[in-house]
Homo-oligomer: A and B are copies of this chain.
Amino acid sequence: MSLKHALLGFINYGPMTGYELKKFFDTSVAHFWNAELSQIYPALKQLEGDGLVEMKVDVQEDRPNRKVYSITESGRRELIDWLGKPADREQVREPILIKVFFGSSLSKQDLIAVLQNCADETRTAVTYLEHAHLFVDKFVEAIGLQQEALFWQLTIDCGLKVHRAELEWSEDAIQKIKTADDSIFENEQHGYDGVNDVRSAMEALDRVKSLLPGTRQTPSARPCTKENQSSRPLTFHCSKGA
């Protein structure tokens, strides 16, 4: 549950309301985490129920009352404990790669247009992150959290590297597609079109697997069961725990 720990992390800077937490999210971690108010408020209630934060109502005359949350000792322990544990990996989900994967159904120009659009958006993201470095410097100074600068900047470095890699990829991909043979596009006729063919394809897959290097071989087809999803045989599963 990363959200609750991110909330704890901010509240650890100092007592805050849900509304203020939302601002912190939007101004400092939006490039790698988002949270809506409708998610923050119930999460704070749960943190309070677990004794990780304490709430005090701040009565105001001319504005709505505020609920100010502070971290407890138990909350600080929980935060430090969680921070020190290996990070979860979220399953990668990239709609653009679905489009590329099935790109043979499109015309060359349509596929390029989709990738061009992707490249443009990524370029925008890179530009924003380049500003962000400067922004963080000013911000941490303004709020007196200079010690945090290194850590905040590191998260931006990550976003920059990753987005630049994405951008490089999409530009490369466009080039490769441009120079590809026209015959592989707008494919109507595929390799097989019957149940038996899919079956023999799966058998072929097993033969291919046993030819490949680098992993222990399995004598027969891998089924769709829990066990070998995590054992990760020959196929290129790559986003869940080692």
Binding site for B on A (CB under 8 A): 2, 5-6, 9, 12-17, 19-20, 22-23, 26-34, 37, 58, 66, 68, 76, 79-80, 83-106, 110-111, 113-114, 117-118, 120-121, 124-125, 127-129, 131-132, 134-135, 138-139, 142-148, 150-152, 154-159, 161-166, 168-169, 172-173, 176-177, 180, 183-184, 187, 190-195, 197-199, 201-202, 204-205, 207-209, 211-215, 222, 224, 229, 232, 234-239, 241-242
Contact = CB atoms under 8 A, between A and B. Distances in A.
A184 B98 contact: no
A15 B16 CA distance: 56
B26 A128 contact: no
The A interface is mostly helix, strand or loop, or mixed, namely helix
Copies in the complex: 2
Contacts of A193: 14-15
A128 B33 CA distance: 27
B105 A208 contact: no
A161 B168 contact: yes
Nearest to A142: B204
A37 B224 contact: yes
A22 B224 CA distance: 7
Nearest to A199: B20
A161 B157 contact: no
